[in-house]
Amino acid sequence: MDYSYTEDQKMLQKMLQDIGEKELKERAKEIDQSHRFPRENVELMAEAGLMGLTVDEKYGGGGMDYICYSLAVEELSKACASTGTIFSAHLSLCTMPIQDWGSDEQKEKFLKPLASGEKLGAFALSEPGNGSDAAAMNTTAVEDGDNFVLNGSKAWITNGAEADIYLVLAQTDKELKHKGVTGFIVEKGTEGFSFGKPEDKLGIRASSTTQLHFDNCKIPKANVLGQVGDGFKIAMKTLDGGRVGMASQAMGIARAAFEESIAYANEREAFGQKILDFQAIQFKLANMSTDIDAARYLIYAAATAHDRGEQFSRLSAQAKVFASEMAMKHTVEAVQIHGGYGYTTEYNVERYMRDAKITEIYEGTSEIQRIVIAKALQKEML
Ligand SMILES: Cc1cc2nc3c(=O)[nH]c(=O)nc-3n(C[C@H](O)[C@H](O)[C@H](O)COP(=O)(O)OP(=O)(O)OC[C@H]3O[C@@H](n4cnc5c(N)ncnc54)[C@H](O)[C@@H]3O)c2cc1C
């Protein structure tokens, strides 16, 4: 398989690297420490045309492929993982499902402002009592004339209080379990829709994570995404795509840790020589570099299958579980290479280690990825 970049992909990568180096990286430590949502980063991404990167050009998007999506999440997350999270939740979890499943009216009303970055998107599947077992959700939507009435709470929602448009999954028929789940497009400001307090997190601390509460919240039937009962299918397909982004985020964080480890090892001396000259340190760096490349090939295999319209659930789960565990392992190693300094906020590697952890949890934990892979293998092999 040929993974050499096209001219468009190279140009995008260069633009992302410039934005990352000149703007995002500089702010990353401050917004992590203050837990501040970086609205200026969202505006910057909108100006650069990133918020609708993979959306059809006819809706104001960039019309780019999934390798481009991967490159964007990788480079943004390398500079600032919180910004990578804000971007990926907006584009892959809210904007793309509206493109893939929305009616013409929904695309006109919601997709266009999402693609331009005028509006920010969020995706609400998880609940306080169930994350991995998403079909066990308790949020209900009951038909009432021209509306559905939503009741219940969603948990851990990225872009929580900051978004404008939410894709919310709710049970329209609990008896049918996952086949009774329906997707709704919910606008901020709808009566009966409120937010919990921001979660105080280990990492990606500048991204907003909140609960959403629905109390007799009336949603017009025109805001049902796809058909009634399509919600679980939409959510699972959305997560297949989203996981390519989460793997790319992990790869970006690992690359940041790798590059800063080399630079530090080249400066720091012990026993009269640079620590880079110790074979023990060289082996850590060799392992990092090898695993980052391996992650990239898995990610691009999944992204390519996505773009060809092939089944890619197994590939995206494999990319996510490998890249996230790789990022966790190597950001810990990066702290080790930095010694005592690595344990302080003077260097970035402690943040990379904290940020890497979430990639093993959201959009399906590593355990859930292995279940997805094993189920796909059973289907493919039997
Ligand atoms: C910062 C952050 C942002 C998030 N953003 C969003 C968002 O935007 N939208 C959204 O909908 N959700 C979001 N989530 C929720 C996230 O997707 C869930 O936390 C995740 O899916 C795990 O669900 P849980 O927390 O309920 O853990 P649980 O499902 O309770 O799992 C607990 C443990 O049990 C394991 N486990 C569960 N079931 C099995 C099984 N069958 N076999 C083996 N092990 C199992 C899990 O792997 C895990 O180790 C976010 C979470 C965080 C922390």
Q: Is residue 1 included in any domain, yes or no?
A: no
Same-domain status, 191 and 266: no
Ligand 1 close to Cβ of residue 201 (< 6 A): yes
pLDDT by 10s per residue, the chain, length 382: 667 999 999 999 999 999 999 999 999 999 999 999 999 999 999 999 999 999 999 999 999 999 999 999 999 999 999 999 999 999 999 999 999 999 999 999 999 999 999 999 999 999 999 999 999 999 999 999 999 999 999 999 999 999 999 999 999 999 999 999 999 999 999 999 999 999 999 999 999 999 999 999 999 999 999 999 999 999 999 999 999 999 999 999 999 999 999 999 999 999 999 999 999 999 999 999 999 999 999 999 999 999 999 999 999 999 999 999 999 999 999 999 999 999 999 999 999 999 999 999 999 999 999 999 999 999 998 7
Query: Is the Cα torsion angle 317, 322, 326, 329 positive or negative in sign?
Result: positive
> What CATH number is given to the structural domain containing 147?
2.40.110.10
Q: Is residue 105 included in any domain, yes or no?
A: yes
Q: Which of 120, 154, 171 is the last residue of a domain?
A: 120
Ligand 1 close to Cβ of residue 125 (< 6 A): yes
Q: Which atom of ligand 1 is nearest to the CA of 158?
A: 8
Helices (H) and strands (E) in the chain — how many of each? 14, 10
Same-domain status, 108 and 129: no
Same-domain status, 114 and 141: no
Query: Long-range contacts for 352-355 (Cβ within 8 Å, ≥24 apart)?
Result: 352/81, 352/253, 352/254, 352/256, 352/257, 352/260, 353/257, 353/328, 354/202, 354/203, 354/205, 355/77, 355/81, 355/82, 355/203, 355/204, 355/253, 355/331
**Entry field: residues in the chain:** 382
Same-domain status, 274 and 336: yes
Ligand 1 close to Cβ of residue 358 (< 6 A): yes
- Gap from CA of 366 to ligand 1 centroid (Å): 10
| Catalytic annotation, residues | 363
Distance of alpha carbon 178 from alpha carbon 156, whole angstroms: 21
Q: Which of 204, 231, 258 is the last residue of a domain?
A: 231
Ligand 1 close to Cβ of residue 124 (< 6 A): yes
Q: Is residue 2 included in any domain, yes or no?
A: no
> Atom 16 (ligand 1): residue with closest C-alpha?
362
- Gap from CA of 370 to ligand 1 centroid (Å): 14
Same-domain status, 44 and 177: no
Structure tokens at 315: 């590939």
Same-domain status, 247 and 325: yes
Same-domain status, 193 and 277: no
Same-domain status, 108 and 126: no
**Amino acid letter, residue 294:** A
Is residue 213 a contact partner of residue 193, using CB atoms and an 8 Å limit? Answer: yes
pTM over 0.95: yes
Domains in the chain, number: 3
Same-domain status, 342 and 374: yes
Please list, in sequence order, all residues whose beta carbon lies within 8 angstroms of the beta carbon of residue 35, skipping any fewer than 6 positions away: 198, 200, 205, 206
- Gap from CA of 118 to ligand 1 centroid (Å): 30
Same-domain status, 174 and 140: yes
Could you please report the per-residue DSSP string of 33-82? HHT---HHHHHHHHHTT-TTTTS-GGGT-----HHHHHHHHHHHHHH-HH
> Which of 106, 109, 72 is closest to 91 using CA atoms?
72
> What CATH number is given to the structural domain containing 21?
1.10.540.10
Ligand 1 close to Cβ of residue 136 (< 6 A): no
- Gap from CA of 358 to ligand 1 centroid (Å): 10
> Atom 48 (ligand 1): residue with closest C-alpha?
365
Q: Which atom of ligand 1 is nearest to the CA of 129?
A: 26
Q: Which atom of ligand 1 is nearest to the CA of 204?
A: 1
- Gap from CA of 349 to ligand 1 centroid (Å): 25
Ligand 1 close to Cβ of residue 364 (< 6 A): yes
- Gap from CA of 362 to ligand 1 centroid (Å): 6
Same-domain status, 31 and 138: no
Ligand 1 close to Cβ of residue 157 (< 6 A): yes
Q: Which atom of ligand 1 is nearest to the CA of 89?
A: 8
Ligand 1 close to Cβ of residue 368 (< 6 A): yes
Q: Which of 98, 120, 142 is the last residue of a domain?
A: 120
Strand partners, 220: 147
> Atom 22 (ligand 1): residue with closest C-alpha?
131
pLDDT at site 2: 67
Same-domain status, 11 and 45: yes
pLDDT at site 382: 77
Domain enclosing residue 152, as ranges: 122-231
> Which of 212, 197, 198 is closest to 35 using CA atoms?
198
Rounded to 10 deg, the angle between the 366-381 and 313-337 helix axes is: 140
> What CATH number is given to the structural domain containing 324?
1.20.140.10
Structure tokens at 337: 């290479």
Q: Is residue 318 included in any domain, yes or no?
A: yes
